[in-house]
A and B are shown apart, each in its own frame.
Chain A
């Protein structure tokens, strides 16, 4: 069991940033009974002065300063100009100007021993940690982040180990801004992973959900629209899944052929929220809105 959520303020580009971080923390808090191992969010559409947000983490807590400085140096050598830098615990968040290929930047960064990349985005960043959503709020200040859309997850681990890198969302290395949260288990994960590795993709974790992000990002990079990629995923992913994907300018969700994992949605003219349970939607909507429950093999997308 896991809890997933997503929210998009459809007119945020015209009306200004919305309290996406606050909404996601509220939804994840109300889904805490679905998992307490780890939690995480993607926040998209923040205001920042640079080309990309780069988020990385090291498990080498004692030497975090040294390790992260090395990774930053590697990013600089790869062509990054760092315009802002924040570091706490084992985390490093960089705002950078960068004109090259994101794959080159990603590979240079993770070549540093002990460093894992959580995301590189033109508009979005991934924040994840072990523990519940209150950790995200207290330790990482997620509740105060404003943007256009985002996704969130609370995890009860079934398929791989519990640590910060195996927390959701999973970023589709090295495609900027494609991140996924997933509830379920994929049974053709190894087969898909091998196929992508044969094409030169590099996986960051041993978690089955990561392949959904790579699968979708690969399709988007080949020119497919988001709804086409989601529709195809219903045939190509095997197992149980309900997932939510965040892209540069949109949000999507899909449910497997068994309708095995829950998802409900609520939508107004301004905002759409999706979550495993209605209790989470009620934490962000005070007004009475009709709830829609996607059924088996259904997918939905929304764009800014």
Chain B
């Protein structure tokens, strides 16, 4: 196990050291004193574990594919932006644009999320144990967002595909979004996702999906064509 002290390194040097340490596959790295600085642990494409002892700033663990990143603290805007795979666990609150454009993997937030969580999400699972803010799932295209607490206004505005599960109150639905009851099968699946992540809650989730009136889906994607 390696330890890096972020207080002694610039973000660029810290990311370079992380890449070196994780270059040969599995590694365990603990990062001390991240001090809520930006752009930490970005672009790591190998399986490894990275643990931050403290808050991180903007774009933390963005563009990753493979690592398991744990953050004991808060995150600024765009945690896990565009991540392809791997897992991010945040113990406290996330800022705006959480997991923006994420394509795969899991992001687990122990606290609340700010505005535009899961904006333009293209796959994977985003779990928020607390509440989620304004415009959650804005223009979402794939994947699922699970919010155990309350969710703010304009949920799922202009979403194409994907599902937003809400355990608590809903501020309002966004354009072209609709509310549906989750099936028993879905509930069991979502509860098991929570249990797997150590979240001891079983809210009666409702789900927000697209009405599909805003866009016209008259052609299939390449992979969908093959399946037809």
Which A residues are closer than 8 A to B by beta carbons? 33, 258-259, 262, 264, 277-279, 281-282, 290-291, 293, 295-296
Contacts and interface: CB of A to CB of B under 8 A. Distances in A.
B77 interface: yes
Nearest to B113: A293
B115 A296 contact: yes
Contacts of B116: 259
Chain B interface size band reads 20 to 34
Contact of B77 (A262, A282, A296): A262
The 6 closest A-B pairs by CB, nearest first: A259-B115, A278-B36, A279-B36, A296-B134, A282-B36, A295-B133
A295 B115 contact: yes
B114 interface: yes
B5 to A, nearest CB: 15
A33 B116 CA distance: 23
Nearest to B112: A293
Given A293-B93, A295-B115, 13 more contacts: A259-B114, A259-B133, A262-B95, A277-B36, A277-B76, A279-B35, A279-B37, A279-B38, A282-B36, A282-B55, A295-B133, A295-B134, A296-B115
A279 B115 CA distance: 19
A295 B36 contact: no
A33 B11 CA distance: 13
B96 A259 contact: yes
Interface string B47-84: 00000000101100000000000000010110000000
11 contacts: A33-B38, A259-B134, A262-B95, A277-B76, A278-B76, A279-B35, A279-B37, A282-B55, A291-B55, A291-B93, A296-B115
Given A33-B38, A282-B35, A277 B134 contact: no
Contacts, number: 52
Contacts of B92: 290-291
A206 to B, nearest CB: 30
B58 A277 contact: yes
Nearest to A280: B36
Contacts of B57: 277-279
Contacts of B168: none
B152 interface: yes
Contacts of A291: 55, 74, 92-93
A282 B34 CA distance: 10
Contacts of A262: 76-77, 95-96
For A281, A282, A290, which residue has the most chain B Cβ atoms within 10 angstroms?
Answer: A282
Contacts of A279: 35-38, 57, 76
Interface string B93-125: 101100000000000000010111000000000
Nearest to A295: B133
A293 B97 CA distance: 13
Interface string B130-174: 000110000000000000000011000000000000000000000
Interface string B191-224: 0000000000000000000000000000000000
B147 to A, nearest CB: 14
Contacts of B35: 279, 282
Contacts of A281: 36
A278 B116 CA distance: 19
Nearest to A292: B93
A262 B58 CA distance: 11
B133 A296 contact: yes
A282 B57 CA distance: 11
**Chain A CB within 10 Å — which of B57, B115, B152 has the most?**
B115
B50 to A, nearest CB: 19
B104 to A, nearest CB: 27
A290 B93 CA distance: 9
A278 B133 CA distance: 18
Nearest to B131: A295
A281 B57 CA distance: 12
A282 B152 CA distance: 28
Given A259-B134, A278-B76, A293 B55 contact: no
B153 to A, nearest CB: 8
A258 B157 CA distance: 13
Contacts of B77: 262
B170 to A, nearest CB: 15
B81 to A, nearest CB: 15
B53 to A, nearest CB: 11
Contact of B95 (A33, A264, A282, A296): A264
A33 B76 CA distance: 15
A5 to B, nearest CB: 14
A295 B36 CA distance: 20
A282 B37 CA distance: 10
